[in-house]
């Protein structure tokens, strides 16, 4: 099972993207746990994830979160801006999976 954490300023703007990512994963018969949190909760939740995707509005925190994620052996990346803006669950899911594959 792939565990994908999305983080944004409050955890609200990524909720639609989470729903779309879950629907895409289900459509290709992949088992995935995908959830969203606000930036304050991201560091606490990342130990339960295989990858962390952050909203473009939080890109300034990427270095800080990536440093924290290193201890868990996971990658942190900014969600592709087009995927984020269009709530493109397929594109965001594939981004997450490619990052998980890069750490395996």
Residues annotated as catalytic (active site), given as ranges: 8
Per DSSP, helices labelled H in the chain are 15-27, 39-45, 62-69, 81-86, 89-103
Q: Are 64 and 42 in contact (CB under 8 A)?
A: no
Cα distances (Å, whole numbers) of residue 21 to 43, 71, 76: 22, 26, 17
Q: State how far the Cα of 52 lies from the Cα of 7, in Å rounded to an integer.
A: 7
């Amino acid at each position: 099972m792939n565990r994908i954490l999305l983080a944004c300023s409050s955890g609200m703007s990524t909720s639609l993207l989470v729903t779309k990512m879950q629907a895409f994963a289900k459509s290709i018969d992949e088992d995935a746990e995908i959830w969203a949190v606000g930036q304050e909760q991201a560091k606490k939740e990342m130990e339960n994830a295989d990858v962390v995707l952050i909203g473009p509005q939080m890109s300034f925190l990427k270095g800080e979160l990536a440093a924290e994620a290193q201890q868990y052996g996971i990658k942190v990346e900014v969600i592709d801006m087009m995927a984020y803006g269009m709530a493109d669950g397929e594109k965001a899911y594939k981004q997450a999976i490619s990052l998980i594959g890069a750490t395996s």
